[in-house]
Amino acid sequence: MRGHQADQGSKRLLRERNVKATAGVTISEDFPIPDTMRAWVLGDPGQLTLKDKPVPVPKRAEVLVRIDAVAICATDLEIIYHGPPASIQGGLPFNKNFTPGHEYMGTVVALGPGVDEYRIGQRVAVEIHAGCGQCKRCREGMYTSCHNYGLNYGDVDKGHRANGFTTDGGFCEYQVNNINTLVAINDEMTDEEGTLVVTAGTAMYALTELGGLVAGESVVVTGPGPIGLMAVAVAKALGAQPVILTGTRDNRLQIGKKLGADAVINIRETPDVVAEVRKLNCGRGVDYVVECSAATRAINDAVRMVNRGGKVCLAAFAHEEVPVDVAHIVRNNIYVYGIRGEGKSATHRAEAYMRQKRFDATLIHTHTFPLDDLPTAIRYAKDRVEDAIKVVVKAKAGATQKIAAE
């Protein structure tokens, strides 16, 4: 009865704020929810300010997540300093009370009307994209290619969300999320590791699009950033042989070896990286290339690394228009794919591999800062201070995050 009374009292508190939105919301006294939260807000390019914002209320098919940890992605830096690929109210995200950040995990603390797929107290990682569920691509499972991307304002509301891109993200204490974006994680996984589930999911999506069954196939990963390193780990866990990693930083290449790379190539020390790749694969091109570097020459190198009929997946945002040797691609029947994010539920498969300890994702986590110190965390990530790879921010630094509805 005590829990019921507290639940009703909390509901009344929420209802005073927004009667219509809170009808049917389930909460618990074990996870008290404040009226307001701390949230970093983007002003001018590169300018973040810590402010108070109302705690959002979950609607149908949504939950409220208490954000326990959020990782900084290179795309966050692009958004904070330049704007794209974020689109807020149909334009650049600056001075629109927008909170960036998209690679987060946390604890479910409230359930929207009709939600029974998750329980209060459950730990989850959160995918970026919730498709509209109505367009052709969403019905095919390609919700990261939703045709209603960005159309979630006023009369054009289609239900699409992209956390930290078209709606508020995770550099705050609470966020609402569609149940389709949630991935349950177990209590043995640390908060920091939980933030890496989506990164691993992006790598899994790349390999899914290339064929899925990669056991015995040869794979090159170009670029040992977080996604590239996770691509090495996932490819090896899926049985690829050999897995070759290329890059410019020896320390990251060595992490790639620990994650399963059979060979690494420092392209600064190798005159002809394509020839070296072929040499490492018995003189033949490889079956697959996952391009994660965004380097201008990387695409043409990739299409020359694969054998005839091979496949290339582009997983990085290039910073400029890139000339491509289309004739070579056509003559050799090479397939080129572009992926956006962590589609087709690949994050769930990646989490299963992490849960089974098939690879150690924590090898790419290098630094942790409290939420209040986000500007320092961003500086570490942006300038690669102390060889930073994946920098994590914790909203409740030092707090125990394994409280469950027991």
Per the listing, tokens 């990682």 go with 125
Q: Residue 377 belongs to what H/E stretch?
A: helix 374-383
What does the pLDDT read at residue 16?
Answer: 43
What does the pLDDT read at residue 2?
Answer: 39
Q: How far apart are the first and last CA of the chain?
A: 17
Residue 116 makes CB contacts below 8 A (sequence gap 6+) with none
What does the pLDDT read at residue 404?
Answer: 29
| Beta carbons within 10 angstroms of residue 172's beta carbon | 25
What is the rounded distance in angstroms from the CA atom of residue 360 to the CA atom of residue 342? 19
Sign of CA dihedral 392, 396, 400, 401: negative
CATH superfamily of 2-128+163-184+360-394: Medium-chain alcohol dehydrogenases, catalytic domain (3.90.180.10)
| Beta carbons within 10 angstroms of residue 97's beta carbon | 14
- Tell me the domain boundaries of the chain: 2-128+163-184+360-394, 199-338
Under the phi-then-psi rule, with left for phi > 0, alpha for psi from -120 to 50, and beta for the rest, what region is 216?
A: left
What does the pLDDT read at residue 320?
Answer: 85
Q: Which amino acid is at 151?
A: L
What is the rounded distance in angstroms from the CA atom of residue 26 to the CA atom of residue 182? 17
The total number of residues shown for the chain amounts to: 406
CATH 3.40.50.720 is right for the domain spanning 199-338: yes
Q: pLDDT in tens for each of the 406 residues of the chain?
A: 334 444 554 444 444 444 334 679 999 999 999 999 999 999 999 999 999 999 999 999 999 999 999 999 999 999 999 999 999 988 999 999 999 999 999 999 999 999 999 999 999 999 999 999 999 999 999 999 999 988 877 667 888 899 999 999 999 999 999 999 999 999 999 999 999 999 999 999 999 999 888 899 999 999 999 999 999 999 999 999 999 999 999 999 999 999 999 999 999 999 999 999 999 999 999 999 999 999 999 999 999 999 999 999 999 988 888 999 999 999 999 999 999 988 889 999 999 999 999 999 999 999 999 999 999 999 999 999 999 999 999 986 443 333 322 2
Domains 2-128+163-184+360-394 and 199-338 share a fold: no
**Cis? peptide before 242, omega within 30° of 0:** yes
